[in-house]
């Protein structure tokens, strides 16, 4: 047939069968014509039917369509009463409950759908493999789903790609009817020049938008998260061809491993073989059931047997009617002259029919056929043609009766038709079967260019990364803000930020945004709650922080963290749990009492003295090892007993000698220093020393942090 406007097709369907939106109908029609959506498209489209880049099809008034050749196999037996029909939505015509398909379309083109309480996601398969499995199942009905996997190697997606599941994983999917197929793009090496090298991506995973994929790869290149990747260009025509420009000394496998992990170049297709199983009570209603491969193939074979049986019964009925007419012709052919006299003397068709029936003993159908006979059919040779046709029809009737009595012969017809379909439409696999077993494992650190950087975090929670900081006092901060911590370290190391709510947030130094300005709010990296702020930070580069892991299980690590809360409690804790990057929600390291908060966190390497000051101008100096070490988040032990309900700890330092001073500001605007040289070190848990008889401490003054040189 020639192509017809899609608008006419959509209008006919909407008016006769599907009284819903034309947009949904046209989208369905378009998908059935897209070679990258269906493994075997059933509609032949003319015009713009969209692309792999996600471009939409042209409007339905511009595009044209007709059925694809393979659709003949879906519809060829529709008029032979092979499938049940039901009234359409307004009862003006009937529609088939299912199509008498000769191809196993549910497996070959797949299906995706969702309904109340159930869903299905059947991947497309290769027609040659499915037909082979059907024939093998006919030979041996006892084959299991696992055994059938010898012939059905796995899904075969229209966009190609590589399937990474092992044979055992695929067998389990087809045995249980559910699982996940790991799908990956294919690539090949391109030319190598003096300036660099090129690799080409030659296929993309199923349902992936190619333009979005190229954008994601470009984002990786622009963000410098993958330094060997220089540029990406889409050179695709009808075939996919995405060029990746790499540095000359780069490792292609490592680059692709990163892209497989961080872009849609590798995806998972969740398999759910839920089908509507025919019920004996009502052929129009299917019962949802998750099937294995054997059941799906078994149902198709028995469906084909039923279609073949009903087709033969329909043909037999038509043959009987034709034989009946031909027998009437044969009976009266030698008496045509008499019949002509009866007709000429009759008063009309009804009178002639009644006389012929009475004279020759024919029935109404035979008589009508004789009266409708054309004059040229009265020639002498016509009786030979009639007798020859009659003999052929009787012979075919005997064949059909034999077939209807012998189920094995009908199974042979099913087999022959499946083999014909396989020969006519079968093609090679597009999706290669590979495996990711034995592939080199790449960690996140492998993709990071190692260099020393400095992370700066401000008191108001602004964070940035710079290659070097010569003068901390001159670094840019927002008005009223100040630098809280300077954290040197390798880009492969991490930094940890401690909040007043007792939560630690860890990030790789390379993930901290590089900036010479104010930086970025830390809320861009982590999910802080209302009122939560950063009160301390540490570099976890081993050259800076030291040994944070315990030498043996159950022992205290050489380097620890110490925290003090506003209600006078303190705890020591291990830094080991916070070394690896955290989620946006962070990890809890301390639990505070209601109304209290963490006022600071410091590093302990052994021998430090904690100096803490309160609002009521009291201070305590105590050895850090008197504070209990907790293996998990807790409140800790009492460091200083507050003198009144309104008193609170303002801050603390971990002093390593006489030169470590704590500077506090008084309510009169003066400054006062506290150190181990001026005051005696006492035990923890007391009220501390009163440093002012009149007035209060308003805040602990944080000096400009120094930059530690780690280059050596």
User: Which residues belong to the active site?
Assistant: 62
State the Cα–Cα distance between residues 214 and 210, nearest whole angstrom. Answer: 6
Residue at token pair 């082979």: 132
Concatenate the DSSP letters of all residues of 370-387 into one string.
HHT--GGGGSTTHHHHHH
Contacts of 490 (CB under 8 A, 6+ apart): 450, 451, 452, 453, 509, 541, 543
Asked if residues 174 and 221 have their Cβ atoms less than 8 Å apart, the reply is no
361: left (phi over 0), alpha (psi -120 to 50) or beta: left
CA gap 118, 643 in Å, rounded:
65
Q: Are 296 and 120 in contact (CB under 8 A)?
A: no
Q: What are the tokens at 379?
A: 């020639």
Q: Are 342 and 359 in contact (CB under 8 A)?
A: yes
Q: If you search the block for the tokens 């000698």, which residue do you land on?
A: 657
β-partners of residue 503 are: 588
For strands 432-433 and 162-163, give the pairing. parallel
For residue 391, give the DSSP letter: H
Q: What is the Cα–Cα distance from 340 to 321, expressed in whole angstroms?
A: 25
CB atoms closer than 10 angstroms to residue 192: 11
DSSP secondary-structure letter at 225? S
- DSSP letter (8 states) at residue 333: G
d(CA 48, CA 648): 72
Other C-beta atoms closer than 10 Å to the C-beta of 137 total 20
List of residues 6+ apart from 10 with CB closer than 8 A? 22, 25, 26, 29, 60
536: nearest Cα among 476, 473, 477, 597: 597
Q: Give bridge partners of residue 287 from the DSSP assignment.
A: 277
Q: Which residue has the tokens 């500001």?
A: 665
Alpha carbon distance 698, 690 (integer Å): 15
What's the CA angle centered on 711, arms 708 and 712, to 5 degrees?
105
- Which H or E element spans position 65? strand 64-67
CA gap 315, 322 in Å, rounded: 11
In this structure, what are the phi and psi dihedrals at residue 670, rounded to the nearest 5 degrees?
Answer: -90, 170
Closest C-alpha to 490, from 447, 541, 525: 541
What the block records as the tokens of 543 is 């050259």
Helix, strand and coil in the chain, % to nearest 5: 30, 25, 40
Cross-sheet strand order for the sheet of 662-666: 671-674, 662-666, 697-701
Residues 6+ apart with CB under 8 A from 144: 175, 294
Q: Which residue has the tokens 């170049």?
A: 265
- Unique residue bearing structure tokens 């014509």: 33
**For residue 129, which of 40, 34, 35 has the smallest C-alpha distance?**
40
């Amino acid at each position: 047939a020639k192509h017809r406007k899609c608008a006419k097709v959509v209008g006919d369907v909407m008016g006769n069968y599907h009284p819903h939106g034309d947009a949904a109908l046209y989208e369905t029609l378009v998908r059935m014509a897209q070679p990258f959506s269906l493994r075997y498209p059933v509609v032949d489209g003319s015009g713009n039917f969209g692309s792999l880049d996600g471009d939409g099809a042209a409007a339905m008034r511009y595009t044209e369509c007709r059925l694809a050749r393979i659709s003949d196999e879906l519809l060829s037996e529709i008029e032979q009463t092979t499938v049940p029909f039901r009234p359409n939505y307004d009862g003006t015509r009937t529609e088939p409950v299912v199509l008498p398909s000769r191809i196993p379309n549910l497996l070959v083109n797949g299906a995706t759908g969702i309904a109340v309480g159930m869903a299905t996601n059947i991947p497309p398969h290769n027609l040659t493999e499915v037909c082979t499995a059907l024939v093998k199942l006919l030979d041996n009905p006892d084959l299991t789903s696992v055994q059938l996997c010898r012939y059905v190697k796995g899904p075969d997606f229209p966009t190609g790609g590589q399937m990474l599941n092992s044979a055992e994983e695929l067998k389990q999917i087809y045995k249980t009817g559910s699982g996940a197929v790991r799908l990956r793009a294919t690539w090949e090496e391109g030319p190598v020049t003096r300036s660099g090298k090129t690799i080409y991506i030659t296929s993309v995973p199923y349902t992936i938008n190619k333009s979005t994929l190229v954008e994601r790869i470009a984002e990786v290149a622009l963000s410098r998260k993958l330094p060997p990747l220089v540029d990406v260009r889409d050179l695709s025509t009808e075939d996919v061809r995405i060029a990746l420009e790499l540095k000359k000394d780069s490792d292609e496998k490592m680059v692709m491993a990163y892209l497989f992990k961080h872009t849609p170049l590798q995806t998972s297709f969740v398999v759910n073989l839920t089908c509507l199983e025919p019920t004996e009570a009502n052929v129009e209603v299917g019962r949802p059931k998750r099937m294995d491969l054997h059941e799906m193939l078994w149902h198709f074979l028995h469906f084909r047997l039923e279609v073949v049986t009903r087709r033969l019964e329909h043909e037999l009925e038509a043959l009987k009617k034709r034989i009946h007419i031909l027998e009437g012709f044969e009976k009266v052919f030698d008496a045509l002259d008499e019949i002509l006299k009866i007709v000429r003397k009759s008063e009309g068709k009804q009178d002639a029919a009644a006389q012929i029936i009475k004279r020759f003993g024919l029935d109404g159908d035979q008589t009508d056929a004789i009266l409708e006979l054309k004059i040229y059919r009265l020639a002498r040779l016509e009786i030979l043609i009639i007798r020859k046709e009659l003999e052929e029809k009787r012979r075919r009737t005997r064949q059909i009766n034999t077939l209807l009595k012998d189920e094995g012969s009908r199974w042979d017809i099913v087999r022959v038709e499946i083999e014909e379909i396989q020969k006519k439409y079968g093609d090679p696999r597009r999706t290669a079967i590979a495996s990711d077993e034995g592939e080199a494992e790449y960690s996140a650190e492998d993709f990071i260019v190692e260099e020393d950087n400095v992370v700066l975090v401000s008191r108001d929670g602004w964070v940035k990364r710079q290659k070097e900081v010569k003068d901390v006092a001159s670094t840019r901060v927002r008005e009223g803000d100040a630098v809280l911590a300077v954290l040197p370290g390798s880009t492969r190391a991490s930094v940890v930020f401690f909040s007043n709510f007792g939560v630690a947030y860890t990030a790789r130094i390379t993930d901290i945004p590089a900036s010479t300005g104010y930086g970025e709010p830390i809320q861009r990296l982590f999910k802080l709650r209302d009122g939560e702020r950063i009160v301390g930070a540490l570099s976890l580069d081993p050259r800076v922080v030291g040994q944070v892991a315990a030498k043996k299980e159950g022992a205290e690590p050489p380097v620890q963290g110490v925290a003090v809360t506003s209600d006078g409690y303190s705890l020591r804790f291990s830094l080991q749990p916070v070394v690896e990057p955290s989620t946006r929600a962070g990890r809890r390291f301390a639990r505070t009492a209601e109304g209290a908060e963490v006022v600071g966190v410091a590093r302990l390497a052994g021998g430090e003295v904690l100096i803490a000051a309160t609002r009521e101008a009291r201070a305590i100096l105590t050895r850090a090892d008197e504070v209990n070490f907790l293996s998990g988040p807790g409140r800790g032990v009492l460091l200083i007993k507050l003198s009144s309900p309104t008193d609170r700890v303002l801050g603390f330092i971990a002093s390593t000698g006489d030169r470590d001073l704590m500077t506090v500001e008084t309510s009169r605007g003066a400054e006062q220093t506290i150190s181990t040289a001026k005051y005696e070190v006492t035990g923890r848990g007391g009220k501390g020393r009163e440093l002012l008889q009149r007035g209060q401490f308003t805040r602990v003054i944080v000096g400009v942090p120094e930059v530690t040189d780690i280059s050596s």
